[in-house]
Amino acid sequence: MENLPEGPVNIKLRNPFEIRVPEGEIYVKVESSKGEYGFYLVSDGDVKPYRLHVRGPSFSHGLQLVRHIGPGTNIADISPILFSLDICPPDAER
């Protein structure tokens, strides 16, 4: 801070709405605290994506197991099983 010149500091920033995503599609995986997030982006070269889909770890790791664990399981055991999978309902709802 001592080396900064006196007076206001002005920096010209890019307008985020002027950024154009190159045409094409991409899938990116990002590690999170509960598992892996997947982002699928399709662009037609405009400033807004043509399609964006986010897949959270609660769906891929939690809810997919329920259909294998569920059949033949006592109904009283379903709730503890779901809580042990640490599913985040808002994440799985998408």
Q: pLDDT tens for residues 13-49?
A: 877 777 777 899 999 998 887 778 889 999 998 888 8
Task: Flag whether the pTM goes above 0.85.
Answer: no
Parse the chain into domains and list their residue ranges.
Answer: 22-93
φ, ψ (nearest 5 deg) of residue 71: -60, 125
Annotate 17-52 with DSSP letters as a single string: GG--PPSEEEEEEEEETTEEEEEEEEE-SSSS-SEE
Both structure tokens of 67: 């259909």
Higher pLDDT, 63 or 44: 44
CA angle 81, 30, 35 (to 5 degrees): 15
